[in-house]
């Protein structure tokens, strides 16, 4: 299942330990305000970065897995 653009669902699933992989595209702009990615998460998830890619326009793609998850071969 892919969840796009719903911080509250991501927070609830993260709290329950139901997320297998986080894929994040970082666009480096300054807005000055906004919501955090993990707003509402009370316990800090232990994540390991499994992939990253930087694009010519400055955007960065990041892939993380929870530390307890096993990587597929």
Query: What average pLDDT score do residues 47-59 get?
Result: 95
CB 61 within 8 A of CB 55: yes
Q: What is the pLDDT of residues 14-51, one digit of tens each?
A: 888 888 898 988 888 888 877 777 777 777 778 899 99
pLDDT at position 32, please? Answer: 80
Residue 64 corresponds to which tokens in the numbers above? Answer: 């993380």
C-alpha–C-alpha distance, residues 58 and 40, integer Å: 29
Q: Please tell me the predicted confidence (pLDDT) of residue 39.
A: 75
Residues 68 and 38: their CA atoms lie apart, in Å, by 19
Query: Is residue 3's pLDDT more than 90?
Result: no
pTM: 0.72
Q: Which two tokens stand for residue 20?
A: 């297998």
């Amino acid at each position: 299942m892919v969840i796009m653009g719903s911080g509250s669902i991501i927070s609830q699933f993260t709290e329950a330990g139901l997320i297998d992989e986080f894929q994040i595209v970082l666009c480096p702009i300054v807005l000055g305000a906004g919501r955090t990615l993990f707003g509402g998460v009370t316990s800090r998830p232990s994540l390991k970065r499994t992939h990253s890619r930087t694009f010519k326009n400055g955007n960065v793609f990041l892939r993380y897995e929870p530390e307890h998850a096993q990587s597929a071969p």
